[in-house]
Amino acid sequence: MDATDIVVGIFAGHGTAEWNTPDGHRPSAQEVQEKTARLIRPISIELKGQIRGARTSAEDAIVRGGELGCDKVTYTDDTPLTVGQRYLFFMLPLLDSEAQRSDKLLVLAAWPVGKSDVVTTRHEGDMSLADVKKGIDEGPKPAETPNPHEPWPSGPG
C-alpha cells in the first residue's frame, strides 16, 4: 500500500553505486549515524506494463546497497534480482540523507513474474498477474507524502 509506482518490467542490470546525500559526497561516520545516508544503486528496467504511477517511473528506479570504493552495503531481506527476469516492481519516492524527496524511486519489493503471468508473492504464494492487479486496484492506496522518518521501508509494496 506504500508504493506510489508499480510496474511490470524485465530487470536489465545494476548501475554504479552512489551515496544518497544531496551532492553525492561520502558521508562521515557521524552523518551515517545521525542521518539516513546510505549507498544506493540505480537499476535498469525494461518496462512491460504499468499498474500505478507514471510511465517513466522505471527510468528512475534504485535499490538499497551497493559497493563504492571501500564501502560495501548489502541488505539480506531484499529480493535478489536476476538479469532477464520479469518482475512486478513496487516503488516509492526516495528521501535523501537530509529527508528531502528526490526524483528517484526506491524499489520496496520485486516479485518475480513467471510463465503464464504467474506472480510469486511474498505472503499469498503464486497468483495470476490479473488477480494481483485487481488486488492492487481494490486495495489501500499510498499516503500523499511518504513519512520522512521512514525512508527505508521494508516489506511488500
Residue 152 located in a structural domain: no
Look up the CATH number of the domain holding residue 66. 2.40.50
HSE at residue 149, side-chain half, CA atoms within 13 A, is 0
Q: What is the pLDDT of residues 127-143, one digit of tens each?
A: 999 999 998 888 877 76
Number of domains within the chain:
1
pLDDT of residue 150: 45
Residue 143 located in a structural domain: no
What is the three-class DSSP state of 28? coil
Residue 145 located in a structural domain: no
Residue 157 located in a structural domain: no
C-alpha 112/C-alpha 87 separation (Å) is 4
Residue 102 located in a structural domain: yes
Backbone angle region of 135, left / alpha / beta, with phi > 0 → left and psi within -120 to 50 → alpha: alpha
What domain range is 44 assigned to? 5-138
Report DSSP state, residue 3: -
Residue 149 located in a structural domain: no
C-alpha 54/C-alpha 105 separation (Å) is 11
Residue 50 located in a structural domain: yes
pTM across the whole model: 0.84
Q: What is the pLDDT of residues 91-108, one digit of tens each?
A: 999 988 888 888 899 999
C-alpha 139/C-alpha 79 separation (Å) is 23
Residue 146 located in a structural domain: no
